[in-house]
Amino acid sequence: MVDKSKRSHKILFLGGVLVALAFVFSSVVFAQTDKSGLGNAWSQNIGWVMFGAPNGGPFKEKSDGSLSGFGWSENIGWIQFGGLTDFPFLPGTVAENAVVNANGTISGWARACAGTAQNTDAPSLPSPIAWWELDEVSGTSAGDSSGNGNTGTLYNNTSWVIGKINNGLSTDTGNVNSWMQVPSIAIGSSWTAAWWSYFPLATFTGSWRTMFRGSLDHQVIVDSSGNVGVYDNQSGTGFHSSGYNINSLSSLSPGWHHITAVGSGSNTTFYIDGNIANPHISNYKSINSIDSVGNFQGGYQNWGKFDDVRIYNQVLTNQEVKALYNSYLPVSSPGNCTSMTSRTDGWGGWISLRGTTALDSSYGLSVSGNQITGYAWGSDVIGWLQFNIALGGNGSCDTPSLNGPSSGKPGDTLSFTAGAIDPDNDSVKYQFDWDYSAGATVDTTVPASGYVPSGNSQTGSKPTPWNTPGTYTIAAQCQDSGNSGGNPPSAWKTKTVTIALPPPAISLTYPCGSGTGSATVSWGALAPVGSYSVNSYDVTVKKRSDGSTVASRPGTNSPQTISSLNTKTDYTMIVQANYLPNGTAITRQDFTIQECSTNLTCSFAPPNNANPGPIVGVPVVLTATIGGTYQPPFNITWTDSEGLNFTQNRVDNTSPSISRVYGTVGQKNVDIFVTDNAGAPTSCHMGLPPSLIEGPILKVKPHFDEY
């Protein structure tokens, strides 16, 4: 198991020996604004303490010199600065919250909070074959913490930046060839790559962004639309998307996110922030060795900022993927420090920021320029805690991401979403310029008043639609609430939008035919603009069986009708629409003129009911009438209440009839059911008026011979 907290090879520390420390203090003039701190402290006993930790809020020096915020230790949990009471006493200490004094010294106390130690129930993780923690602060080499000697070499201004954990790397440097070369890492047929990535990614280079690349394949790449996937150069099948789009702010907010790519079988599965319930799968897996990190070796595919990169030559299970992600995170928000009398492990948690040792030597922290350096004492549990924190003035928020449609038509109301984080955790708002140029102006502010928490995205809509086709550039910038809203806004993030008239809407109608048919093509104007003109519509109809032209019509501004088409033939109608200002569009519509019925009908009148009417044993002729639009021949079935079931086939509709002899006296019901050749059915009934719905009624009278 790899222990993240043990990085003693990265720093020179004092051990447990009390050493007299001499500090040279420079005078400090307090700034009129808050200063946010980023950096780390180190204890031989508890390892790293990270400032600016997630969920902990910013570590700040306020304008009055007081220090506030939290640090995070993987071993003892949260450490709070500011807001404490009931301070203990040690020689040389002052009973106060942490504060930067006018002479540059720091005095007062911090405290380890109760009940926030990291969860130790997570499963053990396998050892990676390469692990670049990227915690160096200078130079062109990135050490391999796996012990396998896979040192990375930085090229072309690849820079050290504040990372997710301590430091990190950035290839978003303005140099299209920034990348980290690594010895060829053989990943085999089953592998895992995991790393922290800052979003949004680099945007100044070409359309693709590569995180890992081998001699041929890109094991992890993002295409121009923001889809994460794999690129196959080995067999030439190209890009295989995982279906996950990093530009969707609804699922990926600005800031640091953990990504795990697992190559297994024939697929590569991507997990975002340890989300094993919703993996994203690419149907290609590379088995190339990994040669470069953060960019394609040939450049122009800069990834951006990344940290803590691990490569495994095995598949991490879902549980291990989740555990790896969770291993970086505090298990809870800062615990209760103010009302706590002692930690559950038996010590009070107090950390003295300035005091006197048993040998009457002084220790403490101080500020020189923008650096907090020195040593604090945290009893035998923490021991000496060495600080190296950079304080910066409350600055602007990051350049926002900007997402929304890239195209539309005149009259559309288009909306765009901006999102950014503020390094000082100040609240933010977003400003949009709907016609961006060098002299950018703020057209819309969202929210219109006030601010939203850092990292929350907001959506702005152009108040008036673009009505003229063309290419437009929009832009968004972030404004934070720091310095009472007086900080400069971020840089503008731009996006290009193309407004174009679509091809006219083509509609096709054709009726059923009995030997011939017709097809009509028509179109409608583009509301509400209606400003373009149609020059001509050339209509051609061809048989799909052999491609022969059946009929054509020259260009006109009127709907086209083509008739005398053969029945039961498949056709292709090609409509060439010439219109301004967007050139020529071709619309293909396939259709078939069919033999079919639209209103097949039938009816018949009852036989003569005059006296004498139908009698027993005398044939009765029943005659029907067929009308409407139909396709002969017909299938006609006669039924009645005495068991008649007789079928006729007729090639025309000339008064179909049947002769029927009844042997009993009474009322009779007769039905007729008609089906034409196109399958259209209908039925009708014979009866005495006005009871048509009761079915046909025949009155059969007994016959008496006269003597």
More confident site: 180 or 61: 180
More confident residue, 31 or 43: 43
Is the pLDDT at 618 greater than 50, yes or no? yes
* End position of a domain, from candidates 326, 351, 380: 326
Residues forming beta bridges with residue 367, ordered by sequence position: 372
Helices (H) and strands (E) in the chain, counts: 3, 52
Residue 2 lies in a domain: no
- Distance from C-alpha of 391 to C-alpha of 25, rounded to nearest angstrom: 16
The pair of three-digit structure tokens given for residue 332, joined into one six-digit string? 């809870």
pLDDT tens digits for range 644-655: 888 998 888 778
Of 26-35, 279-288, 571-580, 619-628, where does mean pLDDT reach its minimum? 26-35
Question: What's the pLDDT at 569?
Answer: 67
Residue in the block written with tokens 């996006």: 495
pLDDT at 258 over 70: yes
- Chain position carrying tokens 């992600």: 325
Q: Which residues constitute the domain of residue 255?
A: 130-326
pLDDT of residue 309: 97
- 65 and 213 fall within a common domain: no
Residues 303 and 452 in one domain: no
Burial 628-639 (b: 16+ CB within 10 A, else e): ebbbeebebebb
What pLDDT is attached to residue 28? Answer: 31
Confidence of residue 106 (pLDDT cuts 50, 70, 90): very high
Can you tell me the distance from the alpha carbon of 406 to that of 469, in angstroms, rounded to the nearest whole number? 13
Does the pLDDT value for residue 627 go beyond 60? yes
pLDDT recorded at residue 613: 53
Q: Among 255-259, 321-325, 580-584, which is the least confidently predicted range?
A: 580-584
In this structure, are 287 and 153 located in the same domain?
Answer: yes
Note the pLDDT tens digit of each residue in 205-256. 567 999 999 989 999 999 988 899 999 998 899 999 998 888 764 456 777 8
Contact 52, 394 (CB under 8 A): no
| Choice among 111-125, 140-154, 441-455, 531-545 with the minimum mean pLDDT | 531-545
| Confidence band, pLDDT 50/70/90 cuts, at residue 556 | low
Written as six digits, the tokens of 577 are: 């629409």
pLDDT attached to residue 117: 46
Inter-residue contact 681 to 673 (CB < 8 Å): yes
pLDDT at 703 over 60: no
The domain total for the chain is 5
Stretch 498-514: mean pLDDT: 62
- Asked whether residue 380 carries a pLDDT value surpassing 70, the answer given is yes
Q: What is the pLDDT at residue 72?
A: 81
Residue 32 identity: Q
Asked if residue 134 belongs to a domain, the reply is yes
Percentage of the chain beyond pLDDT 90 is 28
State whether 24 and 79 are in the same domain: yes
For residue 169, being part of any structural domain is answered with: yes
Q: What is the mean pLDDT of residues 570-576?
A: 64
Whether 386 and 320 map to the same domain: the answer is no
Q: Which residue has the higher pLDDT, 688 or 179?
A: 179
Do the strands 290-293 and 384-393 form a parallel or antiparallel pair, or are they unpaired? unpaired
Do the Cβ atoms of 503 and 525 come closer than 8 Å?
no
Question: What is the spatial distance between Cα 58 and Cα 393, in angstroms, rounded to a whole number?
Answer: 13
Q: Each residue of 415-458: pLDDT tens digit?
A: 999 998 887 778 999 999 998 875 678 999 999 999 999 889 99
Residue 529 to residues 365, 414, 557, 608, 699, Cα–Cα distance (Å): 69, 16, 18, 68, 71
What pLDDT does 505 receive? 54
Is 700 part of any domain? no
Bridge partners, 574 (sequence order)? 540, 588
The pLDDT, as a whole number, for residue 509 is 62
Percent of the chain with pLDDT over 70: 70
CB 86 within 8 A of CB 118: no
Taking CA atoms, 474 is separated from 105, 200, 444, 493, in Å, by: 49, 18, 11, 8
* Residue 331, in any domain of the structure: no
Which of 482, 499, 516 is the C-terminal boundary of a domain? 499
Give me the CATH number covering residue 627: 2.60.40.10
Helix (H, G, I), strand (E, B) or coil at 571: strand
pTM of the model: 0.47
- The reply to whether 55 and 185 lie within a common domain is no
Residue 437's pLDDT is: 76
State the pLDDT at residue 71.
85
In a domain, 545, yes or no: yes
Model confidence band, residue 74 (pLDDT cutoffs 50, 70, 90): confident
Q: Do residues 71 and 187 both lie within one domain?
A: no
Structure tokens at 164: 């997710």
| 227 and 305 assigned to the same domain | yes
Buried (b) or exposed (e) across 552-577, using 16+ Cβ within 10 A? Answer: ebeeeeeebebeebebeeebebebeb
Q: What is the pLDDT of residues 209-221, one digit of tens each?
A: 999 999 899 999 9
Instruction: Out of 308, 326, 344, pick the residue that ends a domain.
Output: 326
In this structure, the answer to whether residues 312 and 173 fall within a common structural domain is yes
Which residues are 432's β-sheet partners? 444, 476
Coil vs helix vs strand at 687? coil
Domain-embedded: residue 141: yes
Largest Cα–Cα separation, the chain = 157
Q: Annotate 175-203 with DSSP letters as a single string.
A: -TT-EEEEEEE---SSEEEEEEEEES---
In sequence order, what are the beta bridge partners of 355? 363
Residue 306 belongs to a domain: yes
Cα–Cα nearest to 687, from 701, 667, 702, 673: 667
CATH number at 224 reads: 2.60.120.200
Instruction: Please give the mean pLDDT across all residues of the chain.
Output: 76
For residue 22, pLDDT over 50 is answered with no
Same domain, 140 and 245: yes
Structure tokens at 392: 């910066």
pLDDT at position 405: 92
Residues 261 and 207 in one domain: yes
Please check whether residues 349 and 436 belong to one and the same domain: no
AA identity, residue 480? D
